[in-house]
Amino acid sequence: MIRRLPLPPQWGRLYAAAISEDKKQGQHEAAHRLLQECLLQYGAEEGADISLPPALDFGEMGKPVLRDHPQLHFNLSHCSGLAVCLLSDTECGVDCESIRRCKPRIVERVCNAQEIAALESASDADFLFTRLWTLKEAYVKAIGVGISYPLREVGFAFEGERILTNRSDASFMQFLLPNHIVSVCTLQKLEPQSVITIEDRD
């Protein structure tokens, strides 16, 4: 079952679907089925003629684009139990994760000094690390370069429900679901940059 997460309209449309596939290939296929269903719904609502399955081209770094609808941007993510699809008028990125372990070796590679200090004092470092990781992943997916980008340069902090970042070229939102974290990035300046907690099951 597809659900639409409450992303403000100016950010785009964010859809999520529970999936049962354990292997990466099955999750990948589930995410692309979700894309087709989202495009079908988008076409019906907007009166757009979108052929399915969509023809895809790929950017220089491998980011997929809709060949016949270059004005409509999309991004997919999947993990154990969840697939998400983001549709937007602007370059965008989305990442979803179940809570992942905060490993010192990875933290040193992807987090800056302020983030490391926050993790060291956090009551749940795994939860905080997953929040930071998904925001960083959403950003590099939006700019289309992948995790080869120096992730330590992309900094985040939280002030209540507000997301603070050193990125002046992008905006971020984050959804805390019962079993997953979903982070969204759009390459435009928008408000609010905030965290939304969703209590019911995802």
Under DSSP, the state recorded for 194 is B
Residue 21, pLDDT score: 86
Tally of domains in the chain: 1
Cα dihedral 95→143→44→32 (10° resolution): -50
Comparing 98 with 49, the larger pLDDT belongs to 98
Residue 202, pLDDT score: 53
Residue 151 lies in a domain: yes
Residue 177 lies in a domain: yes
Range of the domain at 184: 2-197
Structure confidence at residue 195 as a pLDDT band (50, 70, 90):
very high
Residue 176 lies in a domain: yes
pLDDT tens for 46-87 read 888 888 899 999 987 888 999 999 899 999 999 999 999 999
Residue 133, pLDDT score: 97
Cα dihedral 148→118→173→177 (10° resolution): 100
Residue 13, SS3 per DSSP: strand
Residue 156 lies in a domain: yes
Average pLDDT over every residue of 4-8: 96
Q: Which of 23-27, 45-49, 100-104, 173-177 comes out lowest in average pLDDT?
A: 45-49
Structure confidence at residue 11 as a pLDDT band (50, 70, 90):
very high
Does 169 score more than 70 pLDDT? yes
CATH of the domain at 188: 3.90.470.20
Q: Are 95 and 156 in contact (CB under 8 A)?
A: no
Residue 113, pLDDT score: 96
Give me the residue label for tokens 């992303």. 7
Residue 148, pLDDT score: 77
Closest to 169 in 3D by CA, of 88, 92, 70, 58: 92
Q: Are 64 and 54 in contact (CB under 8 A)?
A: no
Residue 102 lies in a domain: yes
Q: Are 12 and 188 in contact (CB under 8 A)?
A: no
- The average confidence (pLDDT) of the chain is 93
Residue 202 lies in a domain: no
Q: Which helix (H) or strand (E) holds 5?
A: strand 2-5
Average pLDDT over every residue of 132-159: 92
Residue 201, pLDDT score: 55
Residue 131 lies in a domain: yes
| 45: phi then psi, degrees, rounded to nearest 5 | -75, -35
Does 35 score more than 90 pLDDT? yes
